[in-house]
Amino acid sequence: MEPLKYIGKRIPEIYAWAKVTGEAPFTDDLRLPGLLFGKILRSPHAHARIRSINTSRALELPGVVTVMTGTDTPGIKYVAQISDMYPLAIDKVRYVGDPVAAVAAETEEIAEEALALIEVDYEPLPAVFDPCEALLDGAPLIHEDRINNLVLNMKRDFGNVDEGFAQSDRVFEDQFSTQAVPHCNMEPRSSAAWKNPDGVLQIWTGTQSPYFVRKEVAHVCNLPISSVQVMEVHCGGGFGSRSKYCEDEGVTALLAIRSGRPVRITFTREEEMTTTRIRHPFILRIKTGVKLDGTLMAREMQVIVDKGAYCHYGPAVTGYAAGTAASSYRIPHFRFNGDIVYTNKQAGGPFRGFGAPQAIFAIESQLDEIAEVLGIDPLELRVKNANRSGDLTPCGWAITTCGLEECLEKVSQAINWKERQKGPKEGRYRQGKGLATAIHVSGSNVFPDGEFSAIELKMFIDGRVSVYKGSGDTGTWANTVITQIVAEELQLPMESIRLISMDTETTPQSLGSFASRVAFEDGNAAKMAAAQLKTFLLESAAAALQVSMDALFLQDGMIVYREDPSKTLSYGDSVFRSPRTVGHILTSAYHYVPPTVRLTPKGYANVSAAYAFSAQGAEVVVDTQTGEIQVKRLVVAQDVGKALNPIAVEGQIEGALAQGMGYALTEELIVDRTTGKVITDCLDRIMLPTAMDIPDESIFLVETQDPEGPYGAKGVGEIGLNPTAAAIANAIYDAVGFRPHKLPIKAEEVYFFLHPEKR
């Protein structure tokens, strides 16, 4: 086999120059002729009935083009997983920030002024912010059709859990809780739309999944899907926040239709932080049975998911938490009970990890407890129970390749785990080390929309290729990696390849950029489409040169005869001559469907074609006088299958670590318990890590060469965040004996633990 020329290489991003100069266009950078500025009026109440809305004063303001309330729209709710939200509230508002009306005006200032002139008569209703209280009889009902505010109850039962507990020597029960976190993409959400003269509603929006956007927008605007077109634009960070649809696109589209002009809505930072779909807070009860030798026998997890006001993709997130809990380490029996509960708060949605970080925090913290009680080294306990290649987990995940043991080995060596000081530490500043691991999908077959990616290639008579890719690239370098794959297969320089993505009119449909699926699934589609195009080129060249196809090879745009390298044909000439060429374009396309099974209602299926693994080690120092926690070092060994572009892979891991550290220690969306207003409504208050906070990091890429992945690759986007908080929590326990049961882990809690008399 020829050595790889583009795959596995540290190749710069394809948009690099545009990004370092700032010229890569994000939605708010587009200049559409006649553009109107849209603004959304939002509820000041956490829960209220809308008695009436008077827009006449706003409409009179010069420069206002249109004002729209829920009753001016087709009155259709978003599809989501459970259809429960209108683009603009019609009957009730359910959280502080719920969209109530929208304005389009000639300038942003006028739009803002107009908002202040809209009079809404609210009848405030009692609100509930705590999911446990929301479940009680007599709690205010947020959606009238949901008894006890229960969106739904999710049950999973695999094996025989009771028997597993009966066979256990010890059973451990613990409770943990995690917080809400906003994604804090640096680009505040922005979408622009207009209905073009042909009647096509065109939308520009930084999204991970243009086809989900198209589906939802067409639905709420009551238009056929094919008359909505999502257009290509850069996206300033996804992390799940733009993985399905965001509610601003629907409002923008409705304003554009109503006003007959292009409209753009760009969120303020405050809107971005207080009204978008955040990471769900979980309350987790976990019960685990073990043998004295550390063998895990059974696990039961009960979670309460604080859904906030609307369902969005809450059930999928909860289901994935269940899958993760069933599959983290070898567990023969598993049971899960999840209550997804409405509260009068900003709703949750997908966020990097998709429910896994919450579950893993509980699992890994408890695993350390188990190790301590049984007197087993935490590393040994993990190695003993680690997943292995060939395992079938209780919920049906079929693990083909697994590098977890090697990952654990690498991490423990790097942090000198075996030589660490065990037991209680001395002195003011105490060091501690902690471990945690994760398993994650590479694409996940859970949606009725299907699980597939498609790539289309067109080669022109100048020998250049255009790649049409349906999913978005939110900055993950996905488009670069796909270009590398095409370059490799066609032996064509990166510069000769152009990639067009996320244009629903020109790119074939793909599910989108989420679930760590693009490099894997779009990657496979690209590889196969390119391999097919290669065959077409060779076939045409073989006829032209009158030699057999196998005697030819591709080299930088030329098809070369092996026996006599002076005999060549350019790709362009080959395209020109091919009988498959239509209109001087040689086309190849591939629709990749991974060998997976759609998730069943009972939660059993092999949802992914490959599973990635990560082991992480954290070293912290705790100041016993203040409780302050400093992360000194994070070490990651990740089973990436094959690193298609090591810069991109490291970038994903480093970014995930920073987010994981923030999740562990600082980031929290705090809601005022009397008003329901978000207190942490600006970047200054959410405490994201800055360059000053980043610890030393070591990253090891473990390449297990997955048989189904393109060149052996697995998904890498999310898993880097999943175990970080747990590793840090375990390191804190190792340092000072404080077991965090709650995220984020606050210095004052450590302080009060160490100085109980001060509480």
Partner 1 sequence: MKHIRLQINGVWRTGWANPGQTLLDFLREELNCTEVKKGCGKGDCGACTVIMNGISIDSCLTLALQAEGAEIITAKGLGTKDNPHPLQEAFIEKGAFQCGFCTPGMILSAKALLDKNPKPNREEIRRGLSGNICRCTGYRKIEEAVASASERSSNQSDDRELKDQ
CA distances from 400 to 292, 395, 520, 557 (A): 30, 15, 15, 36
Which stretches of the chain bind ligand FES, using CB under 6 A? 186, 237, 475
Of the candidate residues 73, 252, 608, 659, the single one contacting partner 1 (CB under 8 A): 659
Residue 502, CB half-sphere, CA atoms under 13 Å: how many? 29
Q: Per this entry, what is the length of the chain?
A: 759
| Residue 38 φ/ψ, nearest 5 degrees | -100, 145
Nearest residue to 177 (alpha-carbon basis) of 631, 749, 754: 749
Between 384 and 498, whose beta carbon lies closer to partner 1?
Answer: 498
Between 500 and 683, whose beta carbon lies closer to partner 1?
Answer: 683
Does 116 bind partner 1 (CB under 8 A)? Our answer is no
The β-bridge relationship of strands 611-623 and 429-441 is: antiparallel
Between 269 and 567, whose beta carbon lies closer to ligand FES?
Answer: 269
Of the candidate residues 1, 3, 21, 758, the single one contacting partner 1 (CB under 8 A): 21
- Closest distance to partner 1 from the beta carbon of 493 (Å): 17
Give CA angle at 514 (352, 251), nearest 5°. 95
Does 269 bind partner 1 (CB under 8 A)? Our answer is yes
Binding pattern for the stretch 462-501 against partner 1, x by CB under 8 A and - elsewhere: ------------xxxx------------------------
Between 111 and 658, whose beta carbon lies closer to ligand FES?
Answer: 658
Which residues, in sequence order, are CB contacts of 129 under 8 Å at separation 6+?
46, 343, 344, 345, 671, 673, 676
| Residues forming beta bridges with residue 553, ordered by sequence position | 560
Between 25 and 237, whose beta carbon lies closer to ligand FES?
Answer: 237
Between 151 and 235, whose beta carbon lies closer to ligand FES?
Answer: 235
Tokens 């009079």 belong to: 119
- Closest distance to ligand FES from the beta carbon of 344 (Å): 30
Integer Cα distance of 240 and 182 in angstroms: 10
- Closest distance to partner 1 from the beta carbon of 542 (Å): 39
- Closest distance to ligand FES from the beta carbon of 269 (Å): 7
Does 1 bind partner 1 (CB under 8 A)? Our answer is no
Integer Cα distance of 607 and 520 in angstroms: 14
* Count of residues interacting with partner 1 (CB under 8 A): 55
Please report, as residue ranges, which positions from 720 to 739 form the binding site for partner 1 (by CB under 8 A).
Answer: none
What does the DSSP assignment read for 424-483? ---SSEEEEEEEEEEEEESS----TT---EEEEEEE-TTS-EEEEE-S--SSSSHHHHHH
Does 44 bind partner 1 (CB under 8 A)? Our answer is no
What does the DSSP assignment read for 264-291? EEE--HHHHHHHS-BBPPEEEEEEEEE-
Nearest residue to 47 (alpha-carbon basis) of 115, 149, 118, 132: 149
Which residues, in sequence order, are CB contacts of 254 under 8 Å at separation 6+?
68, 73, 87, 88, 102, 220, 221
Between 303 and 648, whose beta carbon lies closer to partner 1?
Answer: 648
Does 271 bind partner 1 (CB under 8 A)? Our answer is no
Of the candidate residues 4, 16, 147, 373, the single one contacting partner 1 (CB under 8 A): 16
Does 689 bind partner 1 (CB under 8 A)? Our answer is yes
Does 267 bind partner 1 (CB under 8 A)? Our answer is no
Which residues, in sequence order, are CB contacts of 162 under 8 Å at separation 6+?
none
Q: Which does 576 bind (CB under 5 to 8 A by kind): ligand FES, partner 1, none?
A: none
- Closest distance to partner 1 from the beta carbon of 659 (Å): 7
The β-bridge relationship of strands 558-561 and 568-570 is: antiparallel
Residue 724, CB half-sphere, CA atoms under 13 Å: how many? 28
Residue type, 91: D
Does 516 bind partner 1 (CB under 8 A)? Our answer is no
Between 608 and 645, whose beta carbon lies closer to ligand FES?
Answer: 645
- Closest distance to partner 1 from the beta carbon of 30 (Å): 9
CA distances from 569 to 521, 558, 686 (A): 32, 6, 59
Does 198 bind partner 1 (CB under 8 A)? Our answer is no
Tell me which residue has its CB nearest to ligand FES: 186
Q: Which does 130 bind (CB under 5 to 8 A by kind): ligand FES, partner 1, none?
A: none
Containing H/E element for 487?
helix 478-490
Of the candidate residues 161, 235, 399, 620, the single one contacting partner 1 (CB under 8 A): 235
- Closest distance to ligand FES from the beta carbon of 239 (Å): 10
- Closest distance to ligand FES from the beta carbon of 357 (Å): 20
Q: Which does 225 bind (CB under 5 to 8 A by kind): partner 1, ligand FES, none?
A: none
Residue type, 8: G
- Closest distance to ligand FES from the beta carbon of 241 (Å): 13
Integer Cα distance of 713 and 727 in angstroms: 25
Between 28 and 706, whose beta carbon lies closer to ligand FES?
Answer: 28
Between 454 and 657, whose beta carbon lies closer to partner 1?
Answer: 657
- Closest distance to partner 1 from the beta carbon of 26 (Å): 7
Nearest residue to 736 (alpha-carbon basis) of 432, 370, 416: 432
| Residues forming beta bridges with residue 228, ordered by sequence position | 201
Does 248 bind partner 1 (CB under 8 A)? Our answer is no
Binding pattern for the stretch 629-658 against partner 1, x by CB under 8 A and - elsewhere: ------------------xx-xx--xxxxx
In contact, 440 and 200? CB cutoff 8 Å = no
Which residues contact partner 1 (rule: CB under 8 A)? 10, 12-13, 15-26, 28-29, 31, 183-188, 234-237, 239, 268-269, 474-477, 647-648, 650-651, 654-659, 682-684, 688-692, 694, 697
